[in-house]
Chain A
């Protein structure tokens, strides 16, 4: 959508060029042949959809693109055009109502957008023009303008930072409004720019706008008089994004490169793809059934009409002659219009109001999640967040839970535990007694001195101090930033650290405890205070950034003495191959032990670069950075080239604690019948221990491993071995296991052998993309079947995309189970988007997961209530809502259909138009809405206590064909009863004690009264949780019906052409027989319901008195697992978030 608009706005010709050239300050550059001011779009942001002029047509068009609205429009048009039984008002009014309400809502939203747009577009900015500062409106900024931004202002467009008021040529920004990360990010000016921007003559070449916030490639040509032109590379660190805020810097100057709709923010402003819930699919299926019922009713009536009319005298009795026009109409045309008329007459069977009610239910219902105090986390002072209300009920249908590990199962709150220098272990905290015979005696300082050589120690600590991208939080800022990572306890030397990854902070703090304090980065100089309290300064030459593929990062620094050093830290698997093998052995043991203990481990290495080596690396890196094409690849190659031949100094272990109640939550989810898959980028050992700690794997769980390691210990080829293992596991887990009954509460799962499955990324890609394509489905099938029979699956060493792949595979497998992904980091976004329900945790790794999720909760433990209580209730509520809606319209329209057999198939409506219109809008809509918002058929506490209750609604249990059939049969039964009950009564229409007779409208009114009372009382019977609101709407609706009927029939309405209902209702009530028939029909209709409710009760879930055995269903595994040795406390090293 936006793209299309973009192309329209910005002309098509520049699309073909893949880079754009910008002249700073619009000054022509000496080099260029001819200065053609390029045309770019202006800086106006248009997020609004409509203007005053196109609102009506465009909005209507969009609304009628919805199938349902379109259907009702067609019905309405048929009513207007063809002579139909009911006036167009009956269907026009509800449609008009729905359309108007939606239009008003959308109009209001658009008005807000207009306002916001205007605020942004009219915002005053300062632009440097011919040496003067000119105040302009933001929308007037053109590409190439030099813009001044002062502290705490947001950038009006995407700027290349030219000059900063800070001496070191940096500035700080927060991108809270873009990706929610509120930490300060450092951006750099382009080097070698003269102070006077007026004389700066430069051209910027950069790529065409693209939405990735973290990517930017460009090049700046700087022309100086009498000098060769200089070329500087531009990267994301030079680009200030529109929407970000300048912090901690007085003012900056930048040149606009992307404006208006081409800014990265605007390009990212796109709605997420719509997820549809399973309930919605059921609704559509039911709709189809009802559409078939509708059409077949119309066909039956039309056919019978013509059969009946063929009998002599029936077609046109003398008392009802046809008009001339009717006589002349073509027979087939007549049949067709008759068909349409019947359609119109019966169209109420598919009610407009259902859509409105369902939508209202979802919208209002989502507030209960937002309001829930149990989701409120005092630490971050936030509750749950609902990004979409369309999926409330899906929360009650989850079968597979895909969870991230770091930050989700674990807290991502890193603590430095120990390190290992040169093979010697240093325990940081006086914590858990002794390990490997090293007792903790004194403070860390003493202990350290006893071990490895002092030089090595200091080198290691320096490495920890230097090799990172941590910023020191400045005192003055502390009150301005509210949302920084809560990593920092306040005390420590009143110094806080800010970093995008908590691991780094933990390491820097760890080094601090050993006496090496990182003081900060100034002017490319890193300052460290060492143990002797001396300040050491290092010149930061290069940062070789972290990325999840390399799984390491490096810095190149220069010491005071002129030595150039490279420090590198990263995951063991990425460091070990790059250091000398003999060093590895000493440390590997420690690393592996730490990993098994569940710590996140990192290895630290260094190398000294000779002058030549550095020069080579320097030019290489610079060139790679300047490259416009394939910069990433070139940089990667260069990094790999530099990071070789290092020597290993040591390793660190950082602890990541389990989230609060992680184990209980997982246990509850498993008890609820959900399969839990842990998808992590972490090492297998770490992840496995987390799984044990979370009780995903129990002591008795038999682990089926499918990893690179198990693949390689066989003699055969990897592929063969893979197949062999798959077959073996399949036999064990699938064929030998008794078939798992789904849906039913089977408690046998606790008795059976449980299986856990472990697979790693490499093996997974082998399974997903085997060398021979033919095997793909075989492998996948085996793999899926194994996984489906395991209680828990652990996938480790996963790339973010692989996570999504797994989710997709499970999502699309047989039975298309409902999947849920939960995660907190950017690496989880892909799986959050892929799963049916995406849950974001408001964790420490920024806000991307939250932004892309459907629901966000502060802690993992909240998932339990979200699914077991909210999800369960919402599912029951909406399922009941849907079934009830279809039911009540079936028994509404069925009598009208039956009446056709008694009125010569003449499309005579049974009910008055007012009743037809109001039935769904007023008389029966509120009770079901209240029910669908407030019902708690089982109390929330009981739902939370008995996770197994969740299984009762698994697999869309309440919206399957059986319950649908039940409701349909009920509707038909009641419809028949209503009609024929009154029909027999009317065999003698003299129903009053004055001998007067009742007419057809009395007939319809009696049926309608029975109908309204029955469907409302049916709902009352189903209501298990009567709050005052339920009482109010249920009795209120009935009272309103009676009141309305009196009122409607009590007055001669001047706008009505026929006063059909005049005093019909009052007369009806004056007849004892009418009363008696109404009472008996209501009771008879509800009789089967009451009987079923009573007979079903003993085994139903409604038995509130908990039997001791039952309430403990969730507790059985817990007693088992608590017997399990406390394996470990906490874990991890998810390398793609490290550093």
Chain B
């Protein structure tokens, strides 16, 4: 590079080398910004109003069933360490809960986003690679092998801690319990169910054989291939509840989709009336001061109920409008007098 300048050559006379490329030189002038702000502000207020109203129309019913309070029906279950404890929660709706109704369970003070917890899974197992069934990856530790040194499939903390409370919802009509059908399909991401997670290929025509030589995760009541006895397509790693659980929540307080109410008499929603929910209380949360709840909600185009967005749009929108007005005043005062001078 040193001697190039001495080759006595005239530099290229191009627009680029002479820094004379044609250029657009936008200036954020008041003439653009003030109407711009006004337009954006009004648009935002519009969106905000829409969002807020939409959010208001979404019905939400939340019920904590941890059983901390002694008078709550699940208090008994929360105290015992025994499995198969059942408690019942009743509630009533005074108007139609518009369908489709989404049935969520929620946990709080539950850190699915712990780093160690988050990496504690073996994707190769979950994509059906049986090689990894016998030797899970080390990240799964301490949930790789049981105490007899048998490999756990699916290994890892996430799988092991899968939420295992189950719920049955009844409508009480004239004192009789009417089971509300819950739809467990379509609660996990389509891509998770269809592409990302794969069951191992059947061995001798059964999924269970593919899991031979492995044990279920310690906390699971049933092995992976037998998660849903009613639907053979909802077993193994392709169990929807499992997939929902495997998608880690972002924050320590979260909800996950449990079921949808889309069938039968309840396709249009839950009619007003009394309901009772049977909770099979299995999942301990009190040791880490966690809480469990169930949430019924319907959704709109913006998803579940969330007032934040609407309010944010309203605030920012009005901020823009106020700004444009202030700027207009400032400019009327200073700029115009400037022109005179």
Contact residues of A with B, CB < 8 Å? Answer: 85, 312-314, 317-324, 367-368, 370-373, 376, 380-387, 856, 902-904, 906-909, 934, 936, 940, 981, 983-1004, 1021, 1024-1030, 1052, 1056-1059, 1062-1063, 1067, 1071-1073, 1076-1077, 1080, 1083-1084, 1087, 1090-1091, 1093-1095, 1097-1098, 1102, 1104
Interface residues of B in 174-188 (CB under 8 A from A): 186-188
Task: Give the residue name and chain of the A residue nearest to B338 (CB).
Answer: A1098
Task: Give the residue name and chain of the B residue nearest to A341 (CB).
Answer: B115
Task: Give the residue name and chain of the A residue nearest to B299 (CB).
Answer: A995
Are A904 and B252 interface neighbours, CB within 8 A?
yes
Q: How far is the CA of A847 from the CA of B335 in the complex (A)?
A: 55
Q: How far is the CA of A371 from the CA of B121 in the complex (A)?
A: 58
Are A990 and B102 interface neighbours, CB within 8 A?
yes
Of the candidates B21, B51, B118, B121, which one forms a contact with A1027 in the assembled complex, judged by CB atoms under 8 Å apart? Answer: B21
Of the candidates A904, A936, A1001, A1026, which one forms a contact with B26 in the assembled complex, judged by CB atoms under 8 Å apart? Answer: A1026
A381-B9, A997-B257, A1000-B113 known; 18 new pairs, CB 8 Å cut-off, are: A314-B288, A320-B117, A372-B18, A386-B5, A906-B115, A934-B19, A992-B303, A996-B257, A1000-B118, A1027-B21, A1029-B21, A1058-B119, A1080-B309, A1083-B316, A1084-B316, A1090-B28, A1090-B33, A1097-B28
Are B251 and A902 interface neighbours, CB within 8 A?
yes
- In the complex, whether B327 has a CB less than 8 A from a CB of chain A is yes
On chain A, the residues within 8 Å of B116 by CB distance are: 320, 322, 906
Contact residues of B with A, CB < 8 Å? Answer: 1-2, 4-6, 8-13, 17-19, 21-30, 33, 40, 44, 47, 51, 100, 102, 104, 110-121, 123-124, 127, 137, 139, 141-143, 157, 160-161, 186-189, 191-192, 195-196, 244, 247-257, 260, 284, 287-289, 297, 299-306, 308-309, 312-313, 316, 319-320, 323, 327, 330, 334-335, 338
Q: How far is the CA of A1098 from the CA of B33 in the complex (A)?
A: 14
Task: Give the residue name and chain of the B residue nearest to A318 (CB).
Answer: B287
Of the candidates B123, B299, B335, which one forms a contact with A1058 in the assembled complex, judged by CB atoms under 8 Å apart? Answer: B123
Q: Do A1026 and B23 contact each other (CB < 8 Å), given the known contacts A1094-B30, A1097-B29? A: yes
On chain B, the residues within 8 Å of A907 by CB distance are: 115
Are B306 and A1076 interface neighbours, CB within 8 A?
no
Q: How far is the CA of A119 from the CA of B269 in the complex (A)?
A: 90
Most interface-central of A313, A317, A383 (chain B CB within 10 A): A317
Q: Do A990 and B161 contact each other (CB < 8 Å), given the known contacts A904-B111, A906-B114, A906-B116? A: no
Most interface-central of A384, A992, A1021, A1029 (chain B CB within 10 A): A992
Are A319 and B316 interface neighbours, CB within 8 A?
no
Most interface-central of B40, B253, B299, B305 (chain A CB within 10 A): B299
Q: Can you pick out 27 interface pairs between chain A and chain B where the beta carbons lie within 8 Å of each other?
A: A320-B116, A323-B141, A368-B19, A370-B5, A381-B8, A382-B6, A383-B10, A387-B2, A906-B113, A906-B115, A985-B309, A987-B306, A989-B250, A990-B257, A995-B102, A1001-B248, A1024-B25, A1024-B27, A1026-B23, A1028-B21, A1052-B127, A1062-B191, A1067-B189, A1072-B302, A1072-B303, A1076-B309, A1091-B323
Of the candidates B4, B18, B29, B260, which one forms a contact with A995 in the assembled complex, judged by CB atoms under 8 Å apart? Answer: B260
Q: How far is the CA of A770 from the CA of B300 in the complex (A)?
A: 88
Q: How far is the CB of A134 from chain B (nearest CB, A)?
A: 34
Q: How far is the CA of A318 from the CA of B284 in the complex (A)?
A: 9
Are A317 and B299 interface neighbours, CB within 8 A?
no
Most interface-central of A373, A999, A1090 (chain B CB within 10 A): A999
Are A1063 and B189 interface neighbours, CB within 8 A?
yes
Q: How far is the CA of A386 from the CA of B29 in the complex (A)?
A: 39
On chain A, the residues within 8 Å of B12 by CB distance are: 371
Q: Do A990 and B297 contact each other (CB < 8 Å), given the known contacts A903-B111, A934-B21, A1059-B196? A: yes
Q: How far is the CA of A1120 from the CA of B227 in the complex (A)?
A: 96
Q: How far is the CA of A985 from the CA of B250 in the complex (A)?
A: 11
Are A1080 and B113 interface neighbours, CB within 8 A?
no
On chain A, the residues within 8 Å of B289 by CB distance are: 312-313
Are B47 and A990 interface neighbours, CB within 8 A?
no
Q: How far is the CA of A904 from the CA of B195 in the complex (A)?
A: 32
Q: Do A993 and B113 contact each other (CB < 8 Å), given the known contacts A387-B2, A987-B306? A: no
Q: How far is the CA of A1028 from the CA of B5 in the complex (A)?
A: 28
Q: How far is the CB of B84 from chain A (nearest CB, A)?
A: 18
Are A1076 and B24 interface neighbours, CB within 8 A?
no
Are B327 and A1094 interface neighbours, CB within 8 A?
yes
Q: How far is the CB of B87 from chain A (nearest CB, A)?
A: 21
Q: How far is the CB of A202 from chain B (nearest CB, A)?
A: 39
Of the candidates B22, B28, B161, B305, which one forms a contact with A320 in the assembled complex, judged by CB atoms under 8 Å apart? Answer: B161
Q: How far is the CA of A1095 from the CA of B327 in the complex (A)?
A: 8
On chain B, the residues within 8 Å of A1057 by CB distance are: 123-124, 137, 139
On chain A, the residues within 8 Å of B137 by CB distance are: 1057
Are B104 and A373 interface neighbours, CB within 8 A?
no
Q: How far is the CA of A999 from the CA of B250 in the complex (A)?
A: 5
On chain A, the residues within 8 Å of B297 by CB distance are: 990, 995
On chain A, the residues within 8 Å of B335 by CB distance are: 1098
Q: How far is the CA of A85 from the CA of B114 in the complex (A)?
A: 11
Q: Do A1087 and B251 contact each other (CB < 8 Å), given the known contacts A1024-B25, A1027-B21? A: no
Q: How far is the CA of A1057 from the CA of B156 in the complex (A)?
A: 14
Q: How far is the CA of A991 from the CA of B254 in the complex (A)?
A: 13
Q: How far is the CA of A991 from the CA of B2 in the complex (A)?
A: 60
Q: Do A1073 and B249 contact each other (CB < 8 Å), given the known contacts A376-B11, A996-B188? A: no
Are A988 and B305 interface neighbours, CB within 8 A?
yes
Are B306 and A988 interface neighbours, CB within 8 A?
yes
Task: Give the residue name and chain of the B residue nearest to A378 (CB).
Answer: B10
Q: How far is the CA of A991 from the CA of B17 in the complex (A)?
A: 51
Q: How far is the CB of B142 from chain A (nearest CB, A)?
A: 5
Task: Please name the 10 residue pairs, one residue from A and one from B, whose CB atoms are nearest each other, closest first.
Answer: A990-B304, A319-B161, A385-B5, A1003-B250, A313-B288, A371-B17, A995-B102, A1000-B250, A1027-B21, A991-B303
